Structure 1
Amino acid sequence: MKNTDQTNAFSRLQQEMTDFAKERDWDQFHNPKNLVMALTGEVGELNELFQWLTPEQAENFPADKQEALAHELADIQLYLLRLAEKCHIDLEAACDRKIALNKAKYPVEKCFGKSLKYNEL
């Protein structure tokens, strides 16, 4: 089921990223390979924020680093949306399909309270 607000948010952000890249003549660099590499770099930066935290510290992320966390999450989301657009993937529809697939692979009655992979249930 399509969430119109989410679809509009994805579309709006994708259009803003397209416009941003075109205004700077960066579209030439935004091919899927380069976008995956940029996305990986941003995930690495997110990883650095959590790298030496205990699980408890990660659950209560330091207030003085919240803005840095928000920036890294936004960078990841924006690169992901740009990559999806360049690869002609409807990200919302892909997420809906993946959630349905995961529900089938991990039925509640088999996996409740377990961290096993679907083929080990």
Structure 2
Amino acid sequence: MRKRALSPIRIMLMVLMLPVTTIGIAVGVYLRTSEFEHDEALLHLIALAGCNAVENIVPGPFVAGGPGYHKRNDPDGDGVACDTRSVVFEPSAPPQHTEAPAARRVGTAKFVRP
């Protein structure tokens, strides 16, 4: 019995399953403590991966304060994340050419005191 319990294969499987177990516990705790219903909370977690991941499950724009809305998925800042309408960026001024920065030298870092 002891020989079987300490087998290298069993120990290796336990070590490899540790991240899966940890993620399962974390998702379970989030689903129980979230302000959303269980299905909405799961949608909110999936939306953390990005718009492409969540739109494979549920299409549509997600409004601020609702499940699926994350500020990083809202590039124009209008309170609607993962909206399907294309955003056209118009440059306000032509790009300015700037000079290349001076070559770096030893001792020019801001955090080094002379």
TM-score by length of 2: 0.27
Structure of higher CA gyration radius: 2
Q: Which has the higher helix share?
A: 1
Could you state the TM-score of these two structures normalised by the residue count of structure 1?
0.26
